[in-house]
A and B are shown apart, each in its own frame.
Chain A
């Protein structure tokens, strides 16, 4: 158990709908990352937040948005869903201090199926 909690574990939704994925980072971790894993694209970085502020952005679609709240949990919002959005969405967290090394802990993922 990495200590990163993601909900829901599985969800099925229809095209055009909107869903919200939730992540609680490890205790003490200030940084949260979202990744998407699909069969054809592999594991792709979407976005990173540090202590409530966006710090890095990857190949995140405009239909997707995220935020990190004052209690450090994060949500990834996916809207106008398309079949191609079906994937495993991972949240990860890290302490993000200069001397702590590059250890990023992944949650178990949220499996999204768009039908």
Chain B
């Protein structure tokens, strides 16, 4: 079983829809939770970063972390065709130490927002 599970989709929604992306994990040591967006054959781009449990909002994006359930979510409001990409969740177990770059990624969810 993988440490991080993410439904690969693909997910197709109409423009303006609310998108919900989710990941579950098994390693209770994970403390830092991130969402990356990756366009085709490009490098992952950091969207949201959350420490421990709670919610974080940035524009149309909201990240939620529920450590008790080992479950994280990313919500995209008023989705746009430009949001079409692969969304990757990532997690780290290190509390700001020198090896916190060791991220464990989900498989990624392919999202298409059609006009």
The listed residue (A56, A88, A102) touching B96 by CB distance below 8 A is A102
Bound form: Cα–Cα A23–B106 in Å:
24
In the complex, identify which listed stretch (A12-20, A65-73, A75-83, A107-115) lies at the interface while the others stay far away. Answer: A107-115
Could you count the A-B residue pairs with CB atoms below 8 Å apart for me: how many are there? 67
23 contacts between A and B (CB under 8 A): A31-B98, A42-B108, A43-B88, A43-B90, A43-B105, A43-B108, A44-B105, A45-B103, A55-B98, A55-B99, A56-B98, A92-B101, A94-B101, A96-B98, A102-B34, A102-B92, A102-B100, A103-B49, A106-B43, A107-B43, A108-B43, A109-B41, A109-B42
Q: Which residues of A contact B (CB under 8 A)?
A: 2, 4, 31, 33, 42-45, 48, 50, 55-56, 58, 88, 90, 92, 94, 96, 98, 101-109, 111
